[in-house]
Amino acid sequence: YPIHESHSHLSSLSVDAQSLQKQIDELSSFSDTPAPSVTRVLYTEKDVLARRFIKNLMGLSGLSVREDAVGNIFGRWEGSNPELSAVATGSHIDAIPYSGKYDGVVGVLGAIEAINVLTRSGFKPKRSLEVIMFTSEEPTRFGISCLGRFGSAPGHIPYHRFYSGNCRVVLWFFFCSFNIFEIFFTLPPSPFMLILSCFQDFSTVINDAGLAAAELALAVERHVLESGSIDTVGTVGILELHPGAINSIPSKSHLEIDTRDIDEERRNTVIEKIHQSAISIARKRRVTLSEFKIVNRDPPALSEKSILDAMVASSKELNLTHKLMISRAYHDSLFMARISPMGMIFIPCYKGYSHKPEEYSSTQDISNGVKVLALTLAKLSLQ
């Protein structure tokens, strides 16, 4: 689109990188664990304070703020054609235990800064623009991710035209060492599933439910590797033993397993193998597999070409390099894609780390991401 012809001022988008970095640093202090780690679980006191911080910034940026039943926060910049569906962008600010300060946060604070960038440039949106802070993208409080989707039933939100999620690189295999700016566009946010598996010793002899769990953890690794693809991943992130005393043989164990793949069928094969292993390990160790529950098993989603096109055009106009990529992470985009065209922008980060205190993106990369986001929002707003 000839945005440059009609809005030539947009070619000089200026990001207030220093303020943005300061906000990222400040938000990281709303945490229940010591810096540099961040822990911010949904509706803890720190999360409530962080939400207030976000709402305040939205207000300062001139957005009108509203909140829905599950706590998604929306900041709206009314366009000249408010009856058209809006263009929305956003991410989350909750943080899993002992994670870092960028995951999600950059997608929320960066989006608010993108609005500031457009305001400063004199841009006037046609479609309304919205910044969304999605509630509990992480599964920490209720064991399930992306609670925001329950706030408004899909199909009833006509205004979500576009959701550009995390300005973050969340997947760990790639992009560890790019030092030029690259934007990564997602194709399918990955299908993801979580399995709950519990073993219990119901016998009178001493059978170790903990060893059954240990064996299953190794089986998860084996089944994932057997797929032969680097796109198949899995981990046992939670393993609890009961009663949890050094001098007591565990009578119960509880595992939570996350397996992912960009290929849904291959992922399902891994799940089936894990299930079979759980059954045979229980038999062999004479413990009962008391529960094997698939918590969620979502299909992948596709980004929309028109959104990708706007992102690609924006990065080109800004003289930034980019690359199309697949997101392996579980994002609200997975659900937004069911009700509206969707695309995601990723920026480089240190070693591809996420969900650990070491996660880091440079102010420069963040600021480039904000520019691409701002220009993309502007283009889509005029469409």
Question: Which spans of this chain sit near ligand HGY (rule: CB under 6 A)?
Answer: 137-138, 145, 329-330
Regarding 104 and contact with Mn ion (CB under 5 A), the answer is yes
Regarding 258 and contact with Mn ion (CB under 5 A), the answer is no
Length of the chain, in residues? 383
Residue with tokens 């304070």: 49
Residue whose CB is less far from ligand HGY, 278 or 329 = 329
The window from 14-22, 166-174, 281-289, 342-350 that contacts Mn ion (CB under 5 A) reads: 166-174
Nearest alpha carbon to residue 318 among 271, 375, 248 = 375
Residue whose CB is less far from Mn ion, 213 or 366 = 366
H or E stretch covering 356: none
Regarding 103 and contact with Mn ion (CB under 5 A), the answer is yes
What dihedral do alpha carbons 40, 43, 44, 49 form, nearest 10°? 80
The dihedral through the CA atoms of 47, 167, 4, 126 has a sign that is: negative
Per-residue tokens: 346: 């990723």
| Cβ atoms 111, 63 nearer than 8 A | no
Regarding 359 and contact with Mn ion (CB under 5 A), the answer is no
188 secondary structure, DSSP code: S
The distance of closest approach from Cβ of residue 355 to ligand HGY in the complex, given in angstroms and rounded to an integer, is: 6
| CB-nearest residue to Mn ion | 104
The dihedral through the CA atoms of 58, 116, 114, 309 has a sign that is: positive
The rounded distance, in Å, linking the Cα atoms of 239 and 358 is 23
The window from 55-63, 102-110, 233-241, 373-381 that contacts Mn ion (CB under 5 A) reads: 102-110
- Residue 89 binding partner per list Mn ion, ligand HGY, none, with a CB distance cut-off of 5 to 8 Å that depends on partner kind: none
Regarding 333 and contact with Mn ion (CB under 5 A), the answer is no
The distance of closest approach from Cβ of residue 137 to ligand HGY in the complex, given in angstroms and rounded to an integer, is: 5
- Residue 145 binding partner per list Mn ion, ligand HGY, none, with a CB distance cut-off of 5 to 8 Å that depends on partner kind: ligand HGY
| Cβ atoms 224, 236 nearer than 8 A | no
The distance of closest approach from Cβ of residue 346 to Mn ion in the complex, given in angstroms and rounded to an integer, is: 11
Residue whose CB is less far from ligand HGY, 140 or 315 = 140
The distance of closest approach from Cβ of residue 365 to Mn ion in the complex, given in angstroms and rounded to an integer, is: 16
Residues 36-75, one symbol each (x = binds Mn ion by CB under 5 A, - = not), give: ----------------------------------------
Angle between helices 45-60 and 17-27 (to 10 degrees): 160
Angle between helices 45-60 and 105-121 (to 10 degrees): 10
- Residue 166 binding partner per list ligand HGY, Mn ion, none, with a CB distance cut-off of 5 to 8 Å that depends on partner kind: Mn ion
Residues sharing a CB contact under 8 Å with residue 338, sequence separation 6 or more, in sequence order: 154, 301
180 burial via Cβ count (<10 Å: 0-12, 13-18, 19+): exposed
Regarding 136 and contact with Mn ion (CB under 5 A), the answer is no
- Residue 330 binding partner per list ligand HGY, Mn ion, none, with a CB distance cut-off of 5 to 8 Å that depends on partner kind: ligand HGY
Identify the three-state secondary structure at position 82: coil
| AA identity, residue 104 | G
Residue whose CB is less far from ligand HGY, 91 or 200 = 91
- Residue 256 binding partner per list Mn ion, ligand HGY, none, with a CB distance cut-off of 5 to 8 Å that depends on partner kind: none
The distance of closest approach from Cβ of residue 300 to ligand HGY in the complex, given in angstroms and rounded to an integer, is: 13
Q: Which of 72, 166, 200, 368 touches Mn ion by CB under 5 A?
A: 166
| CB-nearest residue to ligand HGY | 329
Residue whose CB is less far from ligand HGY, 173 or 202 = 173
Nearest alpha carbon to residue 163 among 305, 15, 340 = 340
| Cβ atoms 41, 140 nearer than 8 A | yes
The residues binding Mn ion (CB under 5 A) are 103-104, 166
